[in-house]
A = this chain, B = another copy of it.
Amino acid sequence: MAGRKEELSGKPKPRKRDASRSRGLILQAALEEFSEHGHSGARVDRISRRAGVSKPLIYDYFGDKDAIYAAALKESYVQIRQAESELDFDSVDPEEAIRKLVRFTLGHFREKPWFIAMLNTENLRGGSTIRTLEDAAGVQSVLLQRLTEILRRGADQGVFRDNVDPRDFYVSIASLCWFPVSNRFTLASVFGLEMDDEWYAQRAETAAEMLVAHLKNPA
């Protein structure tokens, strides 16, 4: 919490024996460790080495491994929300806003691999941890609000159909962006795909194409 406060105040003061700084280091280390090795594969020992702090300190701050995991899971949502909040959709028309959102989503999944890793891990575990996180719902609301607004603008302008549920539509967007990134290793092996930057750029365009066509289709 102290850490959050500092972030908000914009005054990062890294120094030795700084509790909030240590906490942040641990959190980032945990995020990396859990996303690279999953819940059971993660090692508290490695987290402590990655963070450069002793193990007892970690237990002091978080309690136990599950609590570290929960904090890391939450952190992954916090980080993606932050990135999303910096997006600007207001200066472009609705169709372009959708394309922009698609490109951003796929790019974000690729650039921050721990988000997909953490969520896959959590779903593998049946979502038992995310259910216990407070305001888990609130964390995604920003994006949803902005998507809702885009869809309404499009409907108002008569370019989009007006019976599209934003949540369902977001699921479609996420689906098309998630799978090619999440399953990149098995896809490469099984389909022999060469998944370089160009392939992903093409993926984003195809996805945007499908999604926009769906919105424009009067159905």
Q: Show the binding face of A for B, using Cβ within 8 Å.
A: 37-41, 77, 117, 119-124, 126-127, 130-131, 133, 136-137, 139-140, 144, 167-168, 170-172, 174-180, 182-193, 202-203, 206-207, 209-211, 213-214, 217, 219
Q: How far is the CB of A82 from chain B (nearest CB, A)?
A: 16
Copy number in the complex reads 4
> Is the CB–CB distance between B123 and A190 below 8 Å?
no
Q: Closest B-chain residue to A119, C-beta based?
A: B186
Q: Which residues of B contact A130 (CB under 8 A)?
A: 185-186, 189-190
Cα distance, A189 to B187, chains bound together (Å): 28
Q: In the complex the two chains form, what is the Cα distance from A217 to B214 in whole Å?
A: 11
What is the CA–CA distance of A219 and B211 in the complex, to the nearest angstrom?
Answer: 14
Q: Which residues of B contact A214 (CB under 8 A)?
A: 206, 209-210, 213
Complex contact A210–B40 (CB within 8 A) = no
CB–CB B139/A190 < 8 A: yes
Which listed residue, B189, B193, B203, B213, touches A136 by the CB 8 Å rule? B189
